Amino acid sequence: MTRAAAHVLLVDDHPKALEVFELRLKGLGHRVTIANNGEVAIGVVERDRPDLVVLDVTMPEMNGYQACRAIKRIDPAIAVIILTAKTEAADRFWASQSGADEFLNKPIDPALLVQKIEALLGKSS
Amino acid sequence: MTAERVDDAPFTVGIVGEAAPGVYEHVLAAVVASGASAEIWTEANALARRASVDAVVFLVGSAPRRLQPIASALDRDPRTRGVPRVLVVDAATTAAEIAPLGAGALVLAGARREAFMEAFSRVTEQLRARVDAARRARAESAELGELERTLADIQGEGASLSHDARVLFGVILGYASNLRDGFAGPITDEQRRHVLSIVEASNDAAALLDRYVAALRRVIPAMSEPPRSLVPRVDVRREHDLGELARGTVALFGGVAAAKGIRLRADTTGVRAWCDAMQIKQALVNLIANALKLTPAGGAVDVVERLTEPAPAGSTARREVELVVVDTGPGIPAEHRARVFERGVRLDRDRDTPGSGVGLTIVRDVAEMHHGRVRIDEAPGGGASIALVFPVNLRTRSGESRAVAAAASASPSPSGEGSDDASSQRSSPPSSPRRRELRDFE
């Protein structure tokens, strides 16, 4: 682990998708907050300023790209990983347009996601 | 009107000209016997009524010239040009007199009633055949439209299904990996072996889904055609560092290139140009994605930027910048170079590579909106070299007013950089997985 007790915000409208990552991140000593949509996520970011946000794209109301832009406007230092089942080059492009630091596809081995998270946290610390 | 009729309403025949009462009687009897209704015209109302009938009878009699304006009017109007004509002529009528009245069935005024009957039954047959053909054409067109909608639905459902299944495979993979790594408690070697199989199978299943969606796109390329308005906004109000744009775009593909064993790099010098950064990136994304798709492992993809020589004093030539993506793939044969810009066109040899044939069309659209062009050459190693060429200082040239006007009318955001505004629907990607715009970058 690059640094202990980082605060990671996981955002997905699929509770099971969150649970697998939550279990592992908590097991590694990170603090985890979960949000089921973009609006809630932005509220958490404004209030708690997590170190990193993992964002799903396809969510009701506000999609992940929009949420990412809003988060980066609040605090550009917060690292954002877009984690989506959308696999096309366009999605990668939109992710970069919205300021995301990393673009990953579902399904993903949680071990790999944790690696990416810790790499980004290491970079920013 | 005959050309568009698909209904079963009786045909109407317009009758105009002079004839002896007996001839009139034969004509009317024949029209009625053929199941049509007759409309008697005067020379005065014939012009106004001409478009409402399915066939015309010219009673030529002794005054063929008086019918000529009516025949000419029928010929000039595309609605009536093909309307069948029956010419009732005297034995004394000459060919020169008949010719201006157009082609039609000739019946001698003195003929027996059967001759009139026969002429009209032929006209009716002709009309029925037309109605049937129009009806068939309409039905086929409706069927094709229906088929097209069905295929589009299948493709949309396929993409949506693939997305949802990937999410679920993510859950399976997530739980299985947590078990594997001991996050759900200790695990025996035998249990680990089983869990590894679950992980592997869910990864394989996700890859299969990708193939399914790619196959759907190959089979139905036209369905993934984006509207040309996909890239509607050109904003040349800012000067951008093209090197930075190129490096930023190249960085997006670092992972893909590494996974394929391709050396991808941007060799840039920092030329600055007035352009719409978002669109230039969009074009580069397409070019790089294409190059990476077609370049074999061990190959290279380079993005270079060049500035043309300054024009000599007095010349009206514009100084241009070229953003070139060069690969070591199979290249694009000279004979196909013009064709690859057409929407949906893919070379036969690329059939097994995923893609919709839309990418280069987007690049061309972006180039055109920057008053530029796309040039395809052969790279020194035989690969493709595709250059997006546009004026470096679009702002001060004739294109400026048009481009800026287009930007002003198309962009809802007064901030200039609409793409940074999350509230701008135009620049925000749509949430709905059924929207097709997102396919456009491949």
- Write out pLDDT tens, residues B63-108: 888 899 999 988 888 888 888 899 999 888 888 888 888 888 889 8
Q: Which residues of B touch A39 (CB under 8 A)?
A: none
Q: Which CATH superfamily is domain A16-108 in?
A: Response regulator (3.40.50.2300)
pLDDT at B229 over 50: no
* pLDDT digit string, tens, across residues B134-148: 888 888 888 888 887
The DSSP-derived string for A85-123 is S--SHHHHHHHHHTT-SEEEESS--HHHHHHHHHHHHHH
Integer angstrom CA distances of residue A58 from A14, B48, B61, B163, B168: 10, 61, 79, 9, 14
Q: Per the CB < 8 Å rule, is A85 touching B164?
A: yes
Mention the CATH class of domain B2-139.
alpha beta
Q: Which residues of B touch A97 (CB under 8 A)?
A: 278, 281, 419, 427
The CB density around residue B153, as the number of other CB atoms within 10 Å, is 12
Q: What is the pLDDT of residue B401?
A: 41
Q: Mean pLDDT over residues B25-35, rounded?
A: 87
The CB density around residue B374, as the number of other CB atoms within 10 Å, is 22
Q: What is the pLDDT of residue B428?
A: 36
pLDDT at B247 over 60: yes
Q: Is 3.40.50.150 the CATH classification of the domain at B229-441?
A: no
Q: What is the pLDDT of residue B314?
A: 65
Q: Per the CB < 8 Å rule, is B173 touching A107?
A: yes
pLDDT at A123 over 90: no
Q: Per the CB < 8 Å rule, is B167 touching A97?
A: no
CA angle A94, A98, A103 (to 5 degrees): 60
Q: Which residues of B touch A105 (CB under 8 A)?
A: 166
Domain locations in chain B as residue ranges: 2-139, 150-224, 229-441
Q: Is the pTM of this model over 0.80?
A: no
* pLDDT digit string, tens, across residues B99-126: 888 888 889 888 888 888 888 888 888 8
Q: Mean pLDDT over residues A21-48, rounded?
A: 94
Q: B interface toward A at CB cutoff 8 Å?
A: 162-164, 166-167, 169-175, 177-178, 181, 183-184, 199, 202-203, 206, 210, 248, 252, 278, 281-282, 285-286, 289, 419-420, 422, 427-431, 433, 437-442
Taking the C-alpha atoms of B239, B245, B248 and B253 in order, what is their torsion angle to the nearest 10 degrees?
A: 160
φ and ψ of B374, to 5 deg: -115, 130
Q: Taking the alpha carbons of B185, B190, B191, B197 in that order, is the dihedral positive or negative?
A: positive
Both tokens of A95, joined, read 């992710």
Measured between CA atoms, the residue of chain B closest to residue A104 is B255
Of chain A residues 28-57, which have a CB less than 8 A from chain B? none
pLDDT at B234 over 80: no
Q: Mean pLDDT over residues B323-345, rounded?
A: 78
Q: Which of B53-62, B402-411, B418-427 has the lowest mean pLDDT?
A: B418-427
CA distance B199 to B177: 7
Q: Which of A25, A87, A104 to mutate to test the interface with B (most CBs of B within 10 A)?
A: A87
